[in-house]
Structure 1
Amino acid sequence: MRIWRAFSIRMSFPKESGRFRLLIVAGTAALLLVLAAVSLCSGSASIPLDEVIRALFSRDQTEKFYQIVQFVRLPRTLAAVLAGGALAVAGAILQAVLGNALASPNIIGVNAGAGLFTILLAAFFPQLIWFTPLAAFLGALAAALLVYLLAQKTGASRMTILLSGIAVSSFLGAITDGVITLVPDTQAGRFAFLIGGFSGVSMDSLKLASLCILIGIGAALLFSYDLNVLTLGEETASTLGMRAGLTRMVFLILAALLAGSAISFAGLLGFVGLIVPHAARFFVGQDHRYLLPLCALLGGAFTLLCDLLARVLFAPFELPVGIVLSFLGAPFFLYLLFKQKRGRLHD
């Protein structure tokens, strides 16, 4: 009965309704806040919410829970929210720019490019480790441009883009494995990086990356109308006065900035940029003015929820959140692939 009532309420607010879309965005923001509070309270030692609030605003490091909240749970919670939002927005942008609903940072090689450049920096320039977000951004951008150019040269069909991305991802992944094998010093901590997770994140590692993510999401929201025009097609966009090629390149750069920044501290998380944009479209439709902010909030909430599950399901043992995301994402990708083959997938 409750399920039917919820469905009836949703149907009474069509996707075209601005009121419904704003309610969805506001509700997702509230859900994100609740999950953040649960994340700060939950772990190997449960902490009451009032103690968490006291630890967050206290400057007394002798407080009972100060160390746990300030140095472990707060960075982890912020990392999950930032990485999830960045990867979800990057996925939505890539799907629009490449015209392929199966596109996401991990599938078309963007994650692999960011991971390769991060590993190269750690292997050959360890003294420059603070430049990891920059290296990850450059790697993500190089991979995105390579996939885009390959698709353009060979005919930018949906399947061509997908296959080009898979090939680029495999090639870059092979180079990464080779570097890790030949330079043993890079193996320390790299296993966790290749899977993806937030267990070792610190506030220092989030400073530059979080700034890049906030700038990237802000720019994407600012130019979301242009993304709507771009999805109408090259010819229509040119008729409306848009320089489609330049606009497409700008959005590719934004997607690379977001994905690379997230990967620099979260590792090679997969499928957030695939699952979340499709879930967001179900509620708010194709208009990127609503889709992108919902992706940012829903991506943070989804990744935070997966991280919570990874922490509590097998306590006292902990799974890297990348494993949980792969368990959820792989079947979803196959579902979309078969749906596309039947010709019913969103363009």
Structure 2
Amino acid sequence: MVLAASACLLLALAAYSICAGAVPISLGELWQALSTGDTASKAGRIIHFVRLPRTLAALLAGCALAVSGATLQTVLSNALASPNIIGVNAGSGLFTIALAAFFPAYVQYTPLAAFLGALFALLIVYGIACKTGASRMTIVLSGVAVSSFLGAFTDAILTFIPDTQMNRMAFLVGSFAGASMEQVKFAGGCILLGVAAAMVLSYDMNVLALGEETASSLGMRTGLYRMAFLAIAALLAGSAVSFSGLIGFVGLIVPHAARVLVGQDNRYLIPLCALLGGAFTLGCDIAARTLFAPFEIPVGIVMSFLGGPFFIYLLLSRKGRRALD
């Protein structure tokens, strides 16, 4: 019932996202444009070239970041883990900016560069945490340090090469305003692949969550599975960053909300995170477009207003304190 209700919410928000705007579009016009592929009329052009790509971008990015966050929290056993907090987004951003700055002819490989950057940052953070053998807080602190370090490289590239083929402010804050169908297609395929892999391996994720010794006693090759899950999380976060920029806190807020509804079982948690992540990001994007109309603010600002207090709440709550033990 929860999954069905979440799917209905996602569809309703997607329809409203396409219909709402400076030029209102009715549900009848939306259905006609989608069913016939009409691009001749004014409404058809707005739907196919502006609002549909933006809606799909928000939906896919939210889905990817939420599932990535849930995977990281389970695999790292840390309630504070999320792509933006532990440096995954920063790695994706650095490799994406570097590709656009130094190899502009290969900008079509942006999703691949973003994935490699996410995996690079994730392996550094995980390696530091494993090497120190310290508390789970080491992962968060390592992520903050790595994120700051990689972010400095990103800022340096944008400073010395200001003609980089990328909207600096929109990318660094996070926005779906310039999303095109060409950008979304390839990254969307990677996101669907990553979500499908996470769902297929959700039972193994449950076993890994029991702890290293318990999982090993049940015959699981924990090192191999942990690396596979980290690669899936990097693929999802990197694909989302490649077209949405450095939006944050989706991977922190949504998994916690989903656990309240369905518990810890990843067989239900992962698909629910996919649905709620898309709905949450769509809702934030709609708010960013409509709250201050005719002006528009980047969706990353809305998410930071929501995510910052939530992160502080986790730090102060009993659940947050357990994550730091």
Alignment equivalent of 1:296, drawn from 274, 277, 284:
274
For residue 107 of structure 2, what is the aligned residue in structure 1? 129
Alignment equivalent of 2:314, drawn from 332, 336, 339:
336
For residue 36 of structure 1, what is the aligned residue in structure 2? 14
1:64 maps to 2:52? no
Alignment equivalent of 1:258, drawn from 232, 236, 240:
236
Alignment equivalent of 1:194, drawn from 165, 172, 175:
172
State the Cα RMSD in Å.
1.4
User: Would you say the 8 A contact 1:196–1:268 is kept in 2?
Assistant: yes
For residue 94 of structure 1, what is the aligned residue in structure 2? 72
1:68-217 maps to which residues of 2 (within 5 A)? 68-186=46-164, 188-217=166-195
User: Would you say the 8 A contact 2:158–2:164 is kept in 1?
Assistant: yes
CA distance in 2, matches of 1:87, 1:300: 9
1:212-251 maps to which residues of 2 (within 5 A)? 212-251=190-229
1:268 maps to 2:261? no
User: Would you say the 8 A contact 2:137–2:324 is kept in 1?
Assistant: no
User: Would you say the 8 A contact 2:194–2:236 is kept in 1?
Assistant: yes
CA distance in 1, matches of 2:55, 2:74: 29
Read off the aligned partner of 1:53 and give its amino acid letter. W
Read off the aligned partner of 1:309 and give its amino acid letter. A
1:25 maps to 2:25? no
Greater Cα offset, 58-67 or 117-126: 58-67
Seen in structure 2, the aligned counterparts of structure 1 residues 188 and 129 have a Cα distance that, compared at 3 Å, is closer
Seen in structure 2, the aligned counterparts of structure 1 residues 217 and 336 have a Cα distance that, compared at 3 Å, is same
How far did residue 67 of structure 1 move? 0.6
CA distance in 1, matches of 2:188, 2:320: 40
User: Would you say the 8 A contact 1:276–1:295 is kept in 2?
Assistant: yes
User: Would you say the 8 A contact 1:148–1:161 is kept in 2?
Assistant: yes
For residue 50 of structure 1, what is the aligned residue in structure 2? 28
How far did residue 56 of structure 1 move? 1.6
How far did residue 254 of structure 1 move? 0.1
1:322 maps to 2:300? yes
User: Would you say the 8 A contact 2:255–2:273 is kept in 1?
Assistant: yes
For residue 8 of structure 1, what is the aligned residue in structure 2? none
How far did residue 178 of structure 1 move? 0.7
Read off the aligned partner of 1:256 and give its amino acid letter. A
Seen in structure 2, the aligned counterparts of structure 1 residues 224 and 156 have a Cα distance that, compared at 3 Å, is farther
Unaligned stretches of 5+ residues in structure 1: 1-22
Secondary structure (helix, strand or coil) at the match of 1:185 reads coil
How far did residue 191 of structure 1 move? 1.3
Seen in structure 2, the aligned counterparts of structure 1 residues 342 and 246 have a Cα distance that, compared at 3 Å, is closer
User: Would you say the 8 A contact 1:339–1:345 is kept in 2?
Assistant: no
CA distance in 2, matches of 1:216, 1:62: 36
CA distance in 1, matches of 2:294, 2:50: 16
CA distance in 1, matches of 2:320, 2:150: 31
Which aligned segments of 4 or more residues in structure 1 are displaced greater than 4 angstroms? 344-347
User: Would you say the 8 A contact 1:180–1:187 is kept in 2?
Assistant: no
CA distance in 2, matches of 1:59, 1:296: 27
User: Would you say the 8 A contact 1:336–1:345 is kept in 2?
Assistant: no
How far did residue 60 of structure 1 move? 3.9
User: Would you say the 8 A contact 1:89–1:273 is kept in 2?
Assistant: yes
Read off the aligned partner of 1:244 and give its amino acid letter. T
Seen in structure 2, the aligned counterparts of structure 1 residues 188 and 250 have a Cα distance that, compared at 3 Å, is closer
Read off the aligned partner of 2:103 and give its amino acid letter. F
CA distance in 1, matches of 2:258, 2:172: 27
CA distance in 2, matches of 1:27, 1:247: 32
User: Would you say the 8 A contact 2:78–2:323 is kept in 1?
Assistant: no
Unaligned stretches of 5+ residues in structure 2: none
CA distance in 2, matches of 1:273, 1:27: 21
CA distance in 2, matches of 1:259, 1:324: 19
User: Would you say the 8 A contact 1:284–1:290 is kept in 2?
Assistant: yes
Calculate percent identity across the aligned residue pairs.
Answer: 68
Seen in structure 2, the aligned counterparts of structure 1 residues 154 and 89 have a Cα distance that, compared at 3 Å, is same
Count how many residue pairs are aligned between Structure 1 and Structure 2.
325
